[in-house]
Structure 1
Amino acid sequence: MSNVQVVEGEVAFEVPSAGKPCKTWYKVVGDLANRTQRPLVTLHGGPGITHDYLLVLSALATSHSIPVVFYDQIGNGLSTHLPEKNGDTTFWSEKLWLDELDNLLVHLGIQDDYALFGHSWGGMLGARHAALQPKGLKRLIIASSPADIKDGIASMQDLVKRLPQEVQDTIRKHDEARTWEDKEYQDCVQIFYKQFLCRLEQWPDTLMKCFEWLEKDPTVYHTLNGPSEFNTIGSLRGWTVVPDLHKINTSTLLLNGRFDEVQDFCMAPYFRYIPKVKWVNFAKSAHLAHLEETERYFEVVGGFLTYE
């Protein structure tokens, strides 16, 4: 990576209802001006975490000469935070982040030719973006993302039932009491994470940094999702892209893990309704296959992005 160009910057993002100037922070690994492959723009998950856990994808700049764009969605990480908008479901709308993506693409001058990688919430956002049929989108990757949040909720609830009974009882107790900040509840969340989020014995620092950011400012996560992965009570509760999937006219790659919190039935609508689609499952992974089976992940993703 030492010979690969890395540029960080900020782009102004006009959000009149924010009440203050906003900006989107981004990082580009690779040379956008002299590229031989189309750039890959990454959409991180959460909603409410940061780009950091996706940084392993930087290696595509070396292995496949693909410039990779990372950014923190507004409300997160190094972009503008708006904790005063906590709970404001009108402000934190899907359109906000779709507009932000368009704004970044234009700023970087790649709006006419780019690929998109969306993980978890990022894949949901990416699917919606693709359904609008932007002319410059040439490849789409949807990784571990439910097509309908009702399926995502059902998946999480099913997986909770696979945890030890005492863990289930503790989760239920705190859900009923709404004592989600209690250490006992948070310990149960970690047990769930170790099974269905990331099965690595030692989590990388880039992943831990995302949780540090989330702890600093949980505004977006709490407003859209709720108190935990398996308790979606926020504004995303009615979200679905299924009716619009047939409108996605770009070649699409679906990715998820065998032990993923987003189980196969959550991904199935993408496979069923997107006209040009391929699906790859990672047998040793949970929700973060790019960290859990990195070598194979690069083979699959790199091959998909460079195949014409």
Structure 2
Amino acid sequence: MSTVTTGTVSVDGRRVWFRRVSPAPEYGTASVPPLVVIHGGPGMTHDYLTDLDRLADLPGSAREVIYYDQAGCGNTERPAGVRSWNLELFVDELDSVLSALELETYDLLGHSAGGWISLSLALRQRTGLRRLVLASTCADMPRYQREIAALKDALPDGLGAVIDQCEAEGTTDSAEYGQAFGLFQSLHVLRLDDMPDHMLVSITGLNDEIYDALLGPEWNMTGSLQSWSVADQLSEITVPVLVTSGRFDEMTPATVRPMVDSIPDARWHIFEQSAHMAMMEEPELYADVVSAFLSRD
């Protein structure tokens, strides 16, 4: 069985918390690069992604899985003197974490907002990156905003209009908004009858300050990433890439496909029973697909 250890590394004089899941000696070898997992939100914690622990328990292809909580999230300290949160802060942090952990070769998996961090690091051509998994993410925020607005407008019984009205009137704490928003979440974010505990931990741990600074309201973004796009730089990615998304994902096929088509060595797997959390909704299949990609010659 795998073993779990936790600790901290120093980044710019503050502590960044990490969690390492190491395979049993008979399951994995030291020659297999670790998989570093970058959580989304932005502003959530790593916990909701820990279904990926099973990658350390696959006989014959097991590998170490490393998670960390980003700046101001979960168990990681807030940077001293930060006045405005921005994507570059989190990309620089990932770069520093990789150095502090002394990882010469590694794979990355970035989910949702973590995909934006991972893409940005890959575009820096950082030494040591071997393979990249982009999970339910995008490379062009304006395209994503158009697609997610269309999903909202397609909600039944006029609930999309309810969302618009409540956000315009500032009544997002109303029962009507809660019902409409909850339906969207159950259709396009997490299609499970019961919310797993580790998902609840990440939701309740969300740092709203980070979320609002980078995105703002989901269907009317006001944050610093509202016009973010690296769509015209994707041809510069030089490592093999696996893109994953769910059939019912808020990251729709129309959002994801241009990214896949623009990355030179990219393959795409759509999980037919999933929305935005395929690693939680179809955990065994997800682990198998990711493991096969990371293990291929």
Range that drifts further, 168-177 or 60-69: 168-177
Q: Tell me the matched-pair count.
A: 292
Kept in 2, the 8 Å contact 1:35–1:65? The answer is: no
Q: Does 2:212 align with 1:219? A: no
Cα-to-partner distance string for 1:120-171 (whole Å, 9 max, x where unaligned): 1111111111111112000000011111001111111011112123422321
Secondary structure of the residue aligned to 2:229 is coil
Instruction: State the alpha-carbon separation in 1 of the partners of residues 17 and 52 from structure 2.
Output: 18
Distance 1:83 1:164, change over 3 A: farther
- Return the alpha-carbon distance in structure 2 between the equivalents of residues 32 and 107 of structure 1: 24
Cα separation, 1, equivalents of 2:81 and 2:155 = 36
Deviation at 1:252, TM superposition (A): 0.3
Q: CA deviation at 1:13?
A: 1.7
**For the residues of structure 1 that align with 2:272 and 2:220, how far apart are their CA atoms?**
26
CA–CA separation in structure 1 for the residues paired with 2:174 and 2:227 = 27
Residue 162 of structure 1 pairs with residue 137 of structure 2: no
Which 5+ residue runs of structure 2 have no aligned equivalent?
none
Deviations 1:32-78 (A, max 9, x none): 99723110000111111110110010110111321000011102111
C-alpha change, 1:156 and 1:76, in structure 2 (3 Å) is same
Supply the distance in 1 between the matched residues of 2:173 and 2:78 (Cα, whole angstroms): 22
Please name the residue that 2:180 is paired with: 188
After superposition, the CA RMSD in angstroms is 2.0
Residues in 2 aligned to 1:220 and 1:189: alpha-carbon distance in whole angstroms: 20
Cross-structure match for 1:46: 41
Percent identity over the alignment? Answer: 35
Distance 2:175 2:10 in 1: 39
Could you tell me which residue of structure 1 aligns to residue 266 of structure 2? 277
Unaligned runs of 5+ in 1: 15-20
**For residues 270-305 of structure 1, what are the alpha-carbon distances to aligned partners after superposition, in whole Å with 9 as ceiling and x for unaligned?**
212111111111111101111111121111100001
SS of the residue corresponding to residue 251 of structure 2 reads coil
Which segment drifts farther, 3-12 or 293-302?
3-12
Question: Does 2:206 correspond to 1:209?
Answer: no
Q: Which moved more, 1:168-177 or 1:236-245?
A: 168-177
User: Is the partner of 1:238 in helix, strand or coil?
Assistant: coil
Q: Which amino acid aligns with 2:67?
A: F
Q: How does 1:66-215 map to 2 (within 5 A)?
A: 66-81=63-78, 88=83, 91-110=84-103, 112-214=104-206
Q: 1:84 and 1:167 mapped to 2: Cα distance?
A: 41
TM-score, length basis structure 1: 0.89
TM, length-normalised to structure 2: 0.93
Contact 1:13/1:24, CA 8 A, preserved across alignment = yes
Contact map agreement 1:256 1:281 (CA 8 A) in 2: yes
Aligned mates of 1:144, 1:210 — CA distance in 2: 17
In the TM superposition, residue 31 of structure 1 has moved relative to its aligned partner by: 6.3
Cα distance in 2 for partners of 1:156, 1:289 equals 18
